[in-house]
Structure 1
């Protein structure tokens, strides 16, 4: 799939950036931040396409749907170790290659409230990466929210990815 992105910034926005101590670094940061957000959108949209294709063409054999179609989600419909492990099992013996979870901030916050998010430092100990069940966690509000039709979320799509994804 071909995906093209473009962005322009107003002269007013750039003049504020250029007035700082290091205008080139400020412009670089502005552009980098925009690209990070755009690449996140591309990644999640691509993942959602793979998800929808699996549901449509492979009977959802790689999907563990615990959402509800009506009413309020119960504990069995919320993220849990059991739900992640059941999802991992859809990969069979290839599950050992899984390394990353991409989840909505509401799901991440639920895990934080339960004190289930661990943090591991990078090689220099300067940055701490969130993990859940040993999987690195990436938080993105571009993941799909499942609506119950009344305007309330009845679920969130969470992706489990391998090392090379």
Structure 2
């Protein structure tokens, strides 16, 4: 009896390109506009970080031109954002892929499963990074990008407002992106897939201050010590809201249109650039119960969970939920 094995259906060169393209096209985070490529940003073949220089706005009042008067030249000031290069891998055994091996197009079936896995991981990484970014913001910038309307008791849910391109992304190519193996003693086929990429919240320099080994762990992605804001506040593309969303929460502590507007106002006259809202499913359900979610068929702003205040909604339960401290 002929047995289909992983190495029989996976052609690494085709598989690598398929998974890279499909990840960019399908995930809701990409389609919402949160993640966008950064012009000129390329994943290097060596090194852990990439510099992302930027020009600050011109400053200073104009000078009144007088008789026998020379203008005083001032320099345009530059800043430097720094992004981390990430490389992660995952291996699956034939037992995990058994259903896919029976498919009419097993390589595509396996590729779809691998894509969905990485999409979930990328989205999880973004929210872990934001834990670190806003931990740094609270410590170093007095939390000037955070609107906390929660009360002291009850679960606290995090919601984010995003402007387009809030997270920069660039795909890279590890030395061996995909390979197959076989454990003959166990009769197991193995698929190994690796990703190398840059994914970076714009305007928050990666410092590498809390990384123990060569590559940051997911836990280290959430460390406030690894981030430092380098953008002017109005140029930042993310703000954070903390609210109570349980059935016992007071109305004034729940997410609402008024709260969204107040959060956007944290950026002053730059408030109009927000395009997306990321929220926990509990928060999304509460808004649905109030009939505040709009669904616009065939509109790119709607990435599957509807829109709110003309902003696309992303629902993800990996967003932080802080449990109340039990009363002794």
TM over 0.5: yes
Tell me, in whole angstroms, the C-alpha distance in 1 between the residues paired with 2:124 and 2:139. 22
1:13 to 96, 111, 115: 96
Provide closer, same or farther for how the CA distance between residues 110 and 123 of structure 1 changes in structure 2, counting only shifts above 3 A.
Answer: closer
**What residue number does 1:87 align with?**
263
Provide closer, same or farther for how the CA distance between residues 2 and 73 of structure 1 changes in structure 2, counting only shifts above 3 A.
Answer: farther
Larger Rg: 2
**What residue number does 2:141 align with?**
58
Report if aligned partners of 1:54, 1:61 keep a CA contact under 8 Å in 2.
yes
Unaligned runs of 5+ in 2: 1-83, 155-247
- 2:306 partner SS: strand
Task: Indicate yes or no: 2:104 matched with 1:24.
Answer: no
Displacement of 1:91 in angstroms is 0.9
Tell me, in whole angstroms, the C-alpha distance in 1 between the residues paired with 2:304 and 2:98. 34
Q: CA RMSD, aligned part only? A: 2.0
1:107 to 258, 261, 283: 283
Provide closer, same or farther for how the CA distance between residues 123 and 115 of structure 1 changes in structure 2, counting only shifts above 3 A.
Answer: closer
Task: Indicate yes or no: 2:311 matched with 1:135.
Answer: yes
Tell me, in whole angstroms, the C-alpha distance in 2 between the residues paired with 1:78 and 1:4. 38
Tell me, in whole angstroms, the C-alpha distance in 1 between the residues paired with 2:119 and 2:317. 13
- 2:146 partner SS: coil
Displacement of 1:138 in angstroms is 0.5
Displacement of 1:80 in angstroms is 0.7
**What residue number does 2:250 align with?**
74
Report if aligned partners of 1:100, 1:136 keep a CA contact under 8 Å in 2.
yes
**What residue number does 2:125 align with?**
42
Provide closer, same or farther for how the CA distance between residues 74 and 36 of structure 1 changes in structure 2, counting only shifts above 3 A.
Answer: same
Report if aligned partners of 2:305, 2:315 keep a CA contact under 8 Å in 1.
no
Tell me, in whole angstroms, the C-alpha distance in 1 between the residues paired with 2:276 and 2:294. 14
Which has more strand, going by share of residues? 2
Displacement of 1:4 in angstroms is 3.5
Tell me, in whole angstroms, the C-alpha distance in 2 between the residues paired with 1:123 and 1:137. 13
* Aligned residue-pair number: 149
**What residue number does 2:293 align with?**
117
- 1:136 partner SS: strand
Normalised to the residue count of structure 2, the TM-score between the two structures is: 0.43
Which has more helix, going by share of residues? 1
Tell me, in whole angstroms, the C-alpha distance in 1 between the residues paired with 2:282 and 2:249. 14
Matches within 5 A, 1:141-152: 141-150=317-326
